[in-house]
Amino acid sequence: MHTRGEVTDAEYKKKRDQNVQFEPLLTKLGSKVNKLRAEHDEAIERIMADSARAILKDRVSGIKESFPQPEVAAFLNEIVDDVIQDRLSSLGEDNEFTRLYRVNVVSDQSGESTCPIISENVPTLRNLIGSVDFDHDSTEESRPTHMGIRAGSLLRADGGFFIIEAREILEEPQAWKVLKRTVRSGKLEVIPPDVVFPGAAPMIKPEPIDVVIKIVMIGSPETYFALDSFDPEFPHLFKVLADFDDLIPRDKAGIQHYAAVISRFVRDENLLPFDWSAIAALVEHGARIASMKDKLSARFGRIADIARESALRASQRKADKVTGHDVMDSFYHAKNRADLPARRFREFVKDGTICVETRGTVIGQLNGLAVLQAGPMVYGFPTRITATIGPGSAGVINIDREAALSGAIHTKGFYILGGLLRGLLHTGHPLAFDASVAFEQSYGAIDGDSASGAEICCLLSALTEVPLRQDMAMTGAIDQRGNILSVGAINEKIEGFFDICHDAGLTGTQGVIIPKSNVGDLMLRHDVIEACNADKFRVYAVSTVSQALEILSDMEVGRRDSQKLYPPDSLLGIAVARATDFWHEASSASRPKKKSG
């Protein structure tokens, strides 16, 4: 080597040969250093892992003792393994990784002293089984985690009772199917939604949860029988039927129940106290709603509505308690608010648009009684029934049925009328007449058999030409033996005719004929009762058609003697004679005439 820093060719060749000679040794030494470094790092990691595992096992051992379930032990072991394998090296960098191990308590009943009772008013699929929502505390964007699992009402009812309205759950898509599957399998599955938005992260699906639930489903008898008939799983899943009556006995205990319910209602809603007369008026209203002998309505929702309005009226007049006058005033105002159809009908009768007679007598005409409904309110009104008759062979014709305005029950009642007519007359020859019966000025559908008693009286009046009183109205069904049978809405029917008579002027002879079996159902308005006590209006209770005819015709109906004949001057005696005349006339008309010589 020269002092000027130059290297000769020989020296360069020598150094190059030495470099080639020592390069494998340096490579081998570097590999050994890397191996020692790796072994050192692994040893450090094992020491850290063993230390961390020991610390973690010590921490989770207490949890395992408190929760000895195998699922809890498996979950805790997975946490330890995950920390050791994936999280230990990042300690100090990601201090929030513990959020992955948080326990999401979706349902906690530890503080409950009794079994849960859950009522679901909005039984959507999400509300029933729960959901998997996005965890807003997570740093991962648009990705649901286990912390987003939300319990539904079925899980909250685990170990207790779940109350649901049948109609509500049947109207929700898929809800009924999921409820049946949960009851059948005993496992609740929180399923992700069927519709997933584009670009959304995949949803997680929790494992099925074991649940023990008693389902209490509330619904109408129609809904129960429909499910029992058309859903083959229903009778196997819902085996206990509890059919509750909407009526309670009208006795001392029933009245005490009414008072207790009203007292609690007043206390819960902070209303004015009700005195004894107010309780009595509400009990009377409950009896009127029930419209059945010795019964009270158990539909306390309607009673509560009247009670609220009564308390409001009492507060408006600065009273310190609610009285019976407030209750009756509220009832009449509630009825008057919804009685537009009834008021309009009365106006039509008053101005002559609708013909209803309340005085005098007419052959083949009688006032029947019908009802119309406006929400919970029922209103009665009279309807004019007429009948005509003459010789022929067509029999009795129901004009409303021929016009396709007669319902099935009304048609049945009309056929019973024909059977009763044959039984009453009982002639020795076929009945030969053409007769027609109609509800005048009725342009809608007619159903029910409550007018069949009035129809037979009207028809016999036309047959005998005996006039019937127009100051009377009649309601009642019939059977083929002439008995007058009970009908519904008896109070409203009486009050409807009373209102028409009151508008035209009470004469003291007007009244209504009702079935004797309906007497126990009477709960009339106070003004009707006062008119009856003053002998300005009357209510007659009859058990047979004959009794009704005697009131309507003011003549003896007649009873058969030992030869099964009616007295000739009785109404039925005249009817048999007229039927025989019709038969002779029909026979003469059908007999072929002799040719002259």
Please compute the mean of the pLDDT values over residues 152-180 and round it to a whole number: 89
For 419, residues 6+ apart whose C-beta sits below 8 A from its C-beta are 480
User: For residue 109, is pLDDT > 70?
Assistant: yes
Sequence letter at residue 113: S
Pairing of strands 161-165, 117-120: parallel
Tokens of 72: 């809890």
Residue-wise pLDDT tens digits, 302-355: 888 889 999 999 999 898 999 989 999 988 888 888 788 888 888 888 888 888
Please compute the mean of the pLDDT values over residues 558-575 and round it to a whole number: 86
Say yes or no: 122 and 227 in one domain.
yes
Instruction: Give me the pLDDT at residue 1, please.
Output: 46
Say yes or no: 226 and 298 in one domain.
no
User: For residue 390, is pLDDT > 90?
Assistant: no
Residue-wise pLDDT tens digits, 229-247: 999 999 999 888 888 888 8
Q: Tell me which of 41-55, 114-128, 376-390 is least confident.
A: 41-55
The H or E element that residue 164 is part of is: strand 161-165
Name residue 215's beta-bridge partners.
162
Say yes or no: 78 and 123 in one domain.
no
Tokens of 292: 């059945």
Query: pLDDT averaged over the chain?
Result: 83
135 found inside a domain: yes
Say yes or no: 63 and 125 in one domain.
no
Instruction: Give me the pLDDT at residue 112, please.
Output: 72
For 237, residues 6+ apart whose C-beta sits below 8 A from its C-beta are 180, 183, 184, 215
Of 210, 237, 264, the residue at which a domain comes to its end is 237
Tell me the pLDDT band of 584, cut-offs 50, 70 and 90. Answer: confident
Instruction: Give me the pLDDT at residue 173, please.
Output: 83
Range of 75's domain? 9-101
- Cα–Cα distance, 40 to 36 (Å, whole number): 6
Instruction: Give me the pLDDT at residue 497, please.
Output: 93
- Cα–Cα distance, 505 to 498 (Å, whole number): 10
Please report, to the nearest 10 degrees, the dihedral formed by the alpha carbons of residues 270, 276, 281, 283 taken in order. Answer: 90
Q: Tell me which of 90-94, 224-228, 499-503 is least confident.
A: 90-94
Residue-wise pLDDT tens digits, 437-459: 888 887 766 777 888 899 999 98
Say yes or no: 309 and 178 in one domain.
no
- Cα–Cα distance, 336 to 169 (Å, whole number): 36
What total number of domains does the chain contain?
4
27 found inside a domain: yes
111 found inside a domain: no
Closest by CA to 418, choosing from 400, 404, 436, 441, is: 436
Instruction: Give me the pLDDT at residue 303, please.
Output: 87
95 found inside a domain: yes
Residue-wise pLDDT tens digits, 247-301: 889 989 989 988 998 899 889 989 899 999 999 999 988 888 888 888 888 888 8
For 167, residues 6+ apart whose C-beta sits below 8 A from its C-beta are 219, 220, 223
C-alpha atoms less than 13 angstroms from C-alpha of 20 in its C-beta half-sphere: 6
Q: Tell me which of 55-59, 209-213, 516-520 is least confident.
A: 55-59
Say yes or no: 269 and 355 in one domain.
no
Tell me the pLDDT band of 540, cut-offs 50, 70 and 90. Answer: very high
Q: CATH number, domain at 434? A: 3.30.230.10
Say yes or no: 40 and 156 in one domain.
no
Instruction: Give me the pLDDT at residue 404, please.
Output: 65
CA angle, 501 as apex, 500 and 506 as ends, to 5°? 155
Q: CATH number, domain at 264? A: 1.10.8.60
How many of the other CB atoms lie within 10 Å of CB of 41?
A: 10
Tell me the pLDDT band of 197, cut-offs 50, 70 and 90. Answer: very low
Backbone angles phi, psi at 359, to 5 degrees: -145, 160
Please compute the mean of the pLDDT values over residues 2-24 and round it to a whole number: 74
Instruction: Give me the pLDDT at residue 59, please.
Output: 82
For 64, residues 6+ apart whose C-beta sits below 8 A from its C-beta are 72, 73, 76
Of 337, 368, 391, the residue at which a domain comes to its end is 337
Say yes or no: 469 and 566 in one domain.
yes
C-alpha atoms less than 13 angstroms from C-alpha of 431 in its C-beta half-sphere: 20
For 556, residues 6+ apart whose C-beta sits below 8 A from its C-beta are 550, 567, 569, 570, 571
Instruction: Give me the pLDDT at residue 57, please.
Output: 83
82 found inside a domain: yes
566 found inside a domain: yes
Instruction: Give me the pLDDT at residue 27, please.
Output: 82
Closest by CA to 128, choosing from 148, 156, 86, is: 156
- Cα–Cα distance, 144 to 247 (Å, whole number): 53
Q: What percent of the chain has pLDDT over 90?
A: 23
Of 101, 126, 161, the residue at which a domain comes to its end is 101
110 found inside a domain: no
Tell me the pLDDT band of 597, cut-offs 50, 70 and 90. Answer: very low
Residue-wise pLDDT tens digits, 399-428: 666 666 666 777 787 778 888 888 888 777
Say yes or no: 280 and 171 in one domain.
no
Whose structure tokens read 């083949």? 364
Say yes or no: 529 and 398 in one domain.
yes
Say yes or no: 332 and 380 in one domain.
no
Please compute the mean of the pLDDT values over residues 171-185 and round it to a whole number: 89
Tell me the pLDDT band of 201, cut-offs 50, 70 and 90. Answer: low
242 found inside a domain: no
User: For residue 195, is pLDDT > 50?
Assistant: no
Most confident stretch, 91-95, 261-265, 536-540: 536-540
Tokens of 60: 């989770």
Cα dihedral sign for 205, 206, 208, 212?
A: negative
Q: What is the pTM of this model?
A: 0.71
Instruction: Give me the pLDDT at residue 529, please.
Output: 93
Closest by CA to 345, choosing from 375, 385, 372, 368, is: 372
Say yes or no: 318 and 394 in one domain.
no
